[in-house]
Copies of this chain bind each other. A is one copy, B any other.
Amino acid sequence: MRTNKKDFVFFVGDMAMNFRTISFDGKTVEVLDQTLLPFKELYRKLSSPEEMADAIKRLVVRGAPLIGVSAAYGVVLSALVHKKEGITGLRKGVSGDIKLLAGTRPTAVNLFYALERMENILHCDVNSLQELVHLLIEEAEKIHKEDMQMCSRIGDFGEPLVPDGGVIMTQCNAGALATSGIGTALAPIYRARENGKNVTVYVPETRPLLQGARLTAWELSKNGIPSTIICDSARGLVLKSKKVNLCMVGADRIAKNGDTANKIGTYSLAVLAKENGVPFWVASPKSTFDEKIETGQDIPIEERDGDEVRKIAGKRIAPSLPVFNPAFDVTEASLITGFITDKGIVKL
């Protein structure tokens, strides 16, 4: 457990960043504790699958791509713990821990995808226990690397959209903190800065859970990109009066017709962008496109506990009256300028 010094630089894929969400040194996994952000930047060393399951459950690590990478390393930690039990003992022990890790969060597809890949390795033919542990580590590092590459490619494809001196508005946190790389919606911004462009970002606070104010503003600042926090209700005024070049947001699921589910408030941002002639881009890996779903009307919208609205950071702010608290909304494809994916720009 250590607190980061201000000038500490990590290499996340090919880019120097001032924090790193996750890393593995061959023995332990180090994660940035996101429950303490933005007030404390603290890295925790995890050395057992139980510690990793707890970290995922308590949102120490969060964001669908990062959860996938974390779960893969959780399996590696399990293998290291059960190493002394022989191949059969290790396979049995790790299988149990995979179930533990799978039970941490119900929604993120990445979690199950990563665990499935690790489980396939666990049951493949090997000549020795050493080889099996080696293959598990290799697969986890591959999942990690693929995630970083996905972010990098979104950054590459999106970078030309960001003008020098550009002003960008985002929503929620689809940044480096949600991935093991440089983020999705924020990746083109980091790439633009790396290329010497000046960029500034308007960050809506993103009620109810304030991922904009707490996480996005922090990570941009940490990496030298100026930002301005605004209330979600001020987005319209800012788009009308502040010469915003483009909006760039992430996505939780995209239907075949391009309708996009993302954090609550994304739809209204798209409407306000259209009203003010501001291009509206969705940055997300190709894997977010769900080929089984025709339109946004078929995407289920999670409703969360009303106390997320009645309370802020644990403090009660509203009376005990009914609350409607949808966690996501659907933005129709007609409101979206295009998609920045890891395979290239997609326009409908």
A interface residues, Cβ below 8 angstroms from B: 38-39, 202, 204-208, 210, 213-214, 217-218, 221, 226-238, 240, 264-265, 267-268, 271-272, 275, 301, 306, 309-310, 312-319, 321-326, 329
- CA separation between A290 and B329, bound complex, in Å? 39
- CA separation between A301 and B329, bound complex, in Å? 31
- Complex A-B, nearest 4 residue pairs according to Cβ-Cβ distance, in ascending order: A233-B265, A236-B268, A213-B318, A38-B319
Q: A207-B207, A213-B319 are in contact. List 19 more A-B contacts (CB 8 A).
A: A207-B231, A207-B233, A210-B317, A217-B321, A221-B319, A221-B321, A227-B322, A228-B323, A229-B309, A230-B325, A231-B232, A231-B309, A232-B233, A236-B267, A237-B329, A240-B267, A275-B275, A313-B315, A315-B315
Name, among A204, A268, A275, A325, the residue most crowded by chain B CB atoms within 10 Å (CB to CB).
A268
Chain B nearest CB from A265 CB (Å) reads 3
Chain B nearest CB from A276 CB (Å) reads 9
- CA separation between A271 and B335, bound complex, in Å? 14
Chain B nearest CB from A215 CB (Å) reads 10
Collect the chain B residues with CB atoms within 8 Å of residue A227's CB. 321-322
- CA separation between A212 and B238, bound complex, in Å? 22
On whether the beta carbons of A265 and B234 are closer than 8 Å, the reply is yes
Name, among A205, A309, A314, the residue most crowded by chain B CB atoms within 10 Å (CB to CB).
A205
- CA separation between A181 and B102, bound complex, in Å? 57
On whether the beta carbons of B315 and A312 are closer than 8 Å, the reply is yes
Collect the chain B residues with CB atoms within 8 Å of residue A275's CB. 271, 275
**19 A-B pairs (CB sep. < 8 Å):** A39-B319, A205-B207, A205-B309, A208-B231, A210-B318, A213-B317, A217-B318, A217-B321, A218-B319, A218-B321, A227-B321, A228-B323, A229-B310, A229-B324, A231-B325, A232-B232, A234-B325, A240-B267, A268-B272
